[in-house]
Amino acid sequence: MLIRVFYVSVAVGPQTGTVTASILQQSQAYNSQHGITGVLCQGQGIYLQALEGEKGEVNRLYARIAADKRHTRVELVHCESISKRRFENWSMAHVHLSDLDPVTQVEWQTFDPYSVTGLLVLARIDELLASGRVIGATG
Ligand code: FAD
């Protein structure tokens, strides 16, 4: 069974390019081997990640990620079974909020991913993907 989950977390320490590069390198290597696709949005000290794949694979990866000391307050926002992937082109796409236009950045400052529904989070992620400021390796 295919599922999609979103979680939100708070970065421990600054979200530097070095930290991001290391996370993306780990993600792209592991995810492509385990049939995981998704997107990692980051900025303003927050991570917001969508993971899609077979249920067992997503659960195993989520447990690894939740144990990672580079972030804290890891909270599952949404989990659903899906018939089709939304992020099928990316083993892990990446969106950095500081790369977005100033209006969108201000909108994100008032967006609290801990207190909204999964569908709203998905809508926000769609907006980010539509902005075209996505980097990431294909799966
Ligand atoms: P190990 O490599 O044995 O590492 C054990 C612990 O050491 C980790 O939990 C972490 O706390 C720390 N650590 C590992 N590497 C580093 C490093 N370079 N710098 C500092 N500390 C480190 N992994 C994926 O495979 N797919 C993903 O989609 C994914 N998304 C992530 C999203 C976020 C926001 C974060 C913070 C991490 C993500 N990771 C992802 C990385 C994942 O959490 C694990 O670190 C990685 O999978 C290696 O797991 P491991 O069990 O082999 O741990």
pLDDT digits (tens, 9 = 90+) for 118-139: 777 778 788 777 776 666 554 4
Q: Which atom of ligand 1 is nearest to the CA of 9?
A: 34
pLDDT of residue 138: 47
Q: Write the residue with the smallest CA distance to atom 28 of ligand 1.
A: 27
What is the pLDDT averaged over residues 3-7?
95
**pLDDT value at residue 38:** 95
pTM value? Answer: 0.91
Q: What residue owns the CA closest to ligand 1's atom 25?
A: 27
CA distances from 86 to 15, 33, 44, 45, 115 (A): 26, 18, 25, 25, 23
pLDDT of residue 139: 47
Provide residues with CB under 6 Å of ligand 1.
9, 22-23, 26-27, 30-31, 40, 47, 49, 61, 64-65, 67-71, 92
Pick the CATH number of 2-135 from 1.25.40.10, 3.40.50.2000, 3.30.70.100, 2.60.40.1120: 3.30.70.100
Whether 32 has a pLDDT exceeding 80, the answer reads yes
Q: Domain ranges for the chain, please list them.
A: 2-135
